[in-house]
Every structure is written in structure tokens, then in C-alpha cells.
Amino acid sequence: MIKSVAVLKEHAAAAKEKLRDCRLRILVCAGTGCMANGALSVYELLKEKASDLKDVVDISLHEGDLCGGETWLGEGVSVKHSGCHGFCEMGPLVRIEPSGLLYCKVKAEDVDEIVSRTIQKGEVIERLIYKHPVTGETFARQDEIPFYAHQTRLTLANCGHLDPEDIDEYIAYDGYQALAKALTEMTPQQVVEEIGAAHLRGRGGAGFPTARKWAAAQQEQSDIKYVICNGDEGDPGAFMDRSIMEGDPHRVIEAMMIAGYAIGASEGYIYVRAEYPLAVKRLYRAIDQAKAYGLLGKNILGTDFSFDLHIKEGAGAFVCGEESALIASIEGERGMPRPKPPYPAQKGLWGKPTVINNVETLAAVPYIILRGAEEFRKYGSEQSPGTKTFALTGDVANTGLIEVPMGLTLREVVFNIGGGVRQGKALKAVQIGGPSGGCLTEEHLDLPLDFDSLQKAGAMVGSGGLVVMDEDTCMVEVARFFMGFTQNESCGKCVLCREGTRRMLEILERMVIGEGRGSDLDLLEELGEAVKEGSLCGLGKTAPNPVLTTMKHFRSEYLAHVEDHRCPARVCEALKIYRIVAELCKSCGACARVCPTGAITGKRREPYVIDPEKCIRCGACVEACRFDAIEEVV
């Protein structure tokens, strides 16, 4: 049991010494992505092989002295699993410390070679290190890979470097020291002031100042108050919060206790969607460990502060990411937003003052308390200090979870970290903020990615989803996809959200099948503005954003769909028109034989023709033709 700050410091020193004694650490990424690709098999085999190492192991690697030229004993080799490294498409990932050597896409059959060549002989296995998809350059160390080299990892600092299921490792990395400082060296008011001095803004999307929430709840007079961690991450392609909960769960717990101390709460809830089973499992384990160590429960660290923590698994409703709907869900009600005011800080969970912050916002709290607001403000921009995590996906060379200073430009993210657009194609657009966000174009490449700059551009940080789209993307189809998602996730409480998004979706669906009308564009804009004005919660107020921003920047594509019934990107199947090039046609009849509607006719020694009225654009004829005689009309 750790019953005082002095004991915590002693335990931390012992935990750090234990890590130092482990002269060689092999960390296998056990995030969801890597596990899905077989990381656990790699982990078990490496553990088995490493346990057999009894001889002296020389891992001084050639060319560059990668591991410092030291000799390590076999008994000092440790194999652990870690949280998500962020570079999911390169998984399973195996990191070897202290060298920082990173192997990518490791399979179980690679384990013997890793042990015999890298661990025992100090050789780098070239085929397992990262190779840049554009330049072909290779990198052995993780911190030299462009994907990592251009990041600043504060919130994700521990992810990929410690075992998320081992509280001792978290303590070795200064875990719970921020809590100790808050409880013994600061008053609740000073904690709130420090968060305010850091100008920490909510990372869940709106960028609301965190200290204002805490101060409002602190001022309320109540015998019971609550802290809620919003881990209901519902945006398509977003996995920032999931990775933190999976890879550094104790950080979330520590932050919630600091928030509880600041506002006078003794109870908290972590709201996690049930689709995150690994996050749920590791959070439960972390809570049990913290309780066993006396770091969670009654009289924490010998003070009069007590705090208990519960996990609520959500059913996956996107609207429950909205704080009042989330509160309703915890209370056992249907997840639907409530009018505000009163705000949760005044009347939240079961009518009591409640602070709600998302996972990433809370994960920044221990850093601020331990190192100070001034240190936090060294990163980011003046009005948006600190860092932000983004889920970088789409048509970009390097996809994954990244963390960068607020204010870094879109160009730096897409081309320096992301490695540029795949296959050398041109950048067309970037959808930022998921279904709640907006569309940016090439003209926005030098736009700083911070709350205020994006808002001026008609977009928003949102939860941090960042989807890169190349020249072959149909923006009307993109808008239809996001509108389909938000319409499906609407709780139905507000008429304008429920019916307005449905009508907008119907219009977009007509457009992509060639039944759009000229009046549709004006109607879409009118509906979009009405939905934004008439919706109660953030889901409805931001639902039209993908449509309105794509219409603003790519109006010509919308016009092509409704006036010419043509898709310039050649994505919308129903708008494709095929024709047979007479000069290339050999009159073999292969196309006619596979056509399901009899749209292709012809005679021997004469070019075949396609009847556009009968053609259903299935593309079967294109696949059947051996002479490339069938082309799509642009």
C-alpha cells in the first residue's frame, strides 16, 4: 500500500531501478490494430525465446552504434507488451530499447531471426525496418522515421513505451506524481488556476476552456459532485481516445482524481463505448491496481481526499458523445440531449454538479500539474496551447495516430508526417473533424490547425479525425456518406435534425444516381442552415458541415451531378457511361455475352455498341473485353 507521498517516491525510485536493471526491453505493440494482425502471437513467441537466453548477449549494433556498444546479459532481456504506437498500418510493431530500433509488420515466423540476429548478434534486419513509400529511404530508429520525427508527443508520451497493464511501470514514468503534488502542495483553487493558466481547451471538439468548467463546478454548493470522462468516441475513423485508454489507462485515472480534488468530487465515471473491449479491460485492471496500491479509494496518499471510480459501457450511440445525452445514458435513460442551461457544472449527473471532459483533455492534466502551465504553453499557439492528437487516414502514404503542436499547418501534417498523397496523386481535400467537421482544400495547406483558425475557415478540430482525399474522390459522395452517418445517428428529438438530415440525405442520394435537379443545391443550403439553427445539440448543429463546406469549395462537382448527370471523379456508378471504341473492337462478342441486361449488340466484323438506356453501369463488359475496347465517357 502506498499511504503517503514519501512512500510513492520510494516506490517510484524502486520501479525506475527495476527498469534500469532490465538492460534490454523488447516492446510488442498490443494496441487493437496490432493485435488484430497477430501481435499477441509475436509477443508469446518472443517471451518464450527470450526466456531461453542464458548466454551473454551482445546487442551493439553495427554502423552507428545503435545500442551504445554495451553488452547485455541474457537475464536482463525483458519482453513486454505496450499500448498503441500510432503507426497502426505498419503493425505489428516491435520496439527494442534502449536503442529505439523499430521493426514493422512483424510476423510470428520472424521471431527466430529477431532473436538470433538482432538480440544475440546485434544485427539490423533490413527487411523489417521502415521503408518510406515514396523515397524508398529506410530508417531503423523509431524517432528517425518521418512519421514520428515530426510529432510532439505529450499526451501520448507513454503509449508504446510502457506496459499499460503494469502500474509499476506507470509509476516509474512519474505516474501519480501530479496527483501527489496537487493533494499536498496545492489547494483546489490553485489546481483550477493552473489549468486556467495553461489555457487548456477541450480536445473533444468545441475547444471550451477546461478551467471554466472546473471553476463553475467548484463554486457550486453540493454534498455530492461528479467527474465524468467522456470516452464515447463515435466519429468514423477516430481512435485517439481509444488509444490513450488502451495504452495509458492510469493517466486517465490520475487526471480524473485531480479534477475531483479541484471541484470537490469524490466519485467519477468513465463512459466507454462497449465496442472498445480492450480499453474497457485495461481500465478495469488499472482501477483494481490503483485500489490495491491505495491510490484510489479512501484517504488517498494519507490525505482526507477520497475518490471512487466506475466504468459505464455505452451502447455505441453517436449522440451520447454530447455531454447531456451521455449523462442521461449513465442514469439509465435513453441517450438524448437536454436543453442548456442549466449546464452540467450546475446540474449534471443525478442533478448534481458535474464536470465532463473527454479522454484527451484529461490526459493533458497530469503534465500541466507536474510540469507547470508555462511548460505546457511552450507548445502550440497563443490561443490554442499544447498539442492535439489526430487520426490521420485516407489517401495518404502514412496513416495512423499522430500528436502535433496546435498550430502546425495542414501541409506539415499531410506531407511531412503523412508522407504525401499515395501514388503521387494530387491532393483534393481533407475532411477534418469527422462528420461534425468541414472540408479543407489545397488552398488551406498552410492553415494552422488550431481551434480559431479552423473555425474561420468554416471547419473545426472536432475530435481529431483527419481524412485525406486524392484527385479521384467524388466530393458529392463524401458528403452523402457523412450525411448518411449523422442522419442514422440522430436521436430524433429535434424535428429539424431528424427530418432535415433525412431530406438532405435523400437529395444527395438522388444526385449520385443521376436524378438530381437544378433546384437541389439551393434546397440543400437552405436545409443545412435550418438544421444548424434548429438543433439542440452539437450533432445537429454540425451535421450539415460536410455538405455545406464541400458545396462551397466544389460547387462545380455538384453542378456536374445535377445538370450534366455526370460524376467528374468517375466514382458514382450510376453516372458512368460506357462506350465501345470502334477502332479497337474485334467483334468477338465477349462483352455482349456477359451483359446482364442485353444492352450490347452487334454483328460479326462490325463494332459492337452499347445502348445507354439499357446499360446498368455494372462494368462487367469492361472486365470481359481483352482488347481494352470499352472506355468510360468522361
Domain that holds residue 592: 576-632
Domain annotation covers residue 495: yes
Verify that 307 and 347 share a domain, yes or no.
yes
Which amino acid, residue 251?
R
Report the pLDDT value the prediction gives residue 69, as an integer from 0 to 100.
Answer: 34
What CATH number does the domain containing 533 carry?
Answer: 1.20.1440.230
Whether the CB-CB separation of 281 and 392 falls below 8 Å is answered with no
Domain annotation covers residue 281: yes
Task: Please name the residue that has the C-alpha cell 487520426.
Answer: 391
Domain annotation covers residue 501: yes
Domain annotation covers residue 250: yes
Q: Which three cell numbers stand for residue 313?
A: 459501457
Tell me which of 439, 470, 501 is where a domain ends. Answer: 470
What CATH number does the domain containing 431 carry?
Answer: 3.10.20.600
Domain annotation covers residue 162: no
Output the CA torsion sign for 118, 165, 88, 108.
positive
Domain annotation covers residue 238: yes
Report the pLDDT value the prediction gives residue 53, as an integer from 0 to 100.
Answer: 64
Tell me which of 470, 489, 522 is where a domain ends. Answer: 470
Report the pLDDT value the prediction gives residue 263, as an integer from 0 to 100.
Answer: 97
Report the pLDDT value the prediction gives residue 75, as an integer from 0 to 100.
Answer: 53
End-to-end CA distance of the chain: 72
User: The whole model's pTM is what?
Assistant: 0.89
Verify that 479 and 466 share a domain, yes or no.
no
What would the pLDDT profile of 152-161 be if each residue is shown by its tens digit? 999 999 999 9
Verify that 183 and 307 share a domain, yes or no.
yes
Verify that 119 and 267 share a domain, yes or no.
no
Verify that 256 and 371 share a domain, yes or no.
yes
Say how many domains are in the chain. 5
Q: Which three cell numbers stand for residue 194?
A: 493552473
Tell me which of 113, 145, 177 is where a domain ends. Answer: 145
Domain annotation covers residue 480: yes
Verify that 93 and 198 share a domain, yes or no.
no
What would the pLDDT profile of 447-464 be if each residue is shown by its tens digit? 999 988 888 888 888 778
Verify that 273 and 336 share a domain, yes or no.
yes
Verify that 369 and 442 share a domain, yes or no.
no
Verify that 358 and 394 share a domain, yes or no.
no
Pairing of strands 400-405, 354-358: unpaired
Verify that 503 and 456 share a domain, yes or no.
no
Verify that 463 and 549 share a domain, yes or no.
no
Report the pLDDT value the prediction gives residue 536, as an integer from 0 to 100.
Answer: 87
Verify that 541 and 585 share a domain, yes or no.
no
Domain annotation covers residue 100: yes
Q: Which three cell numbers stand for residue 166?
A: 503494469
Whether the CB-CB separation of 493 and 457 falls below 8 Å is answered with no
Closest CA to 203 of 62, 467, 351, 390: 390
Residues of the chain with pLDDT under 70: 53-76, 634
CB hemisphere CA count around 472 (13 angstroms): 8
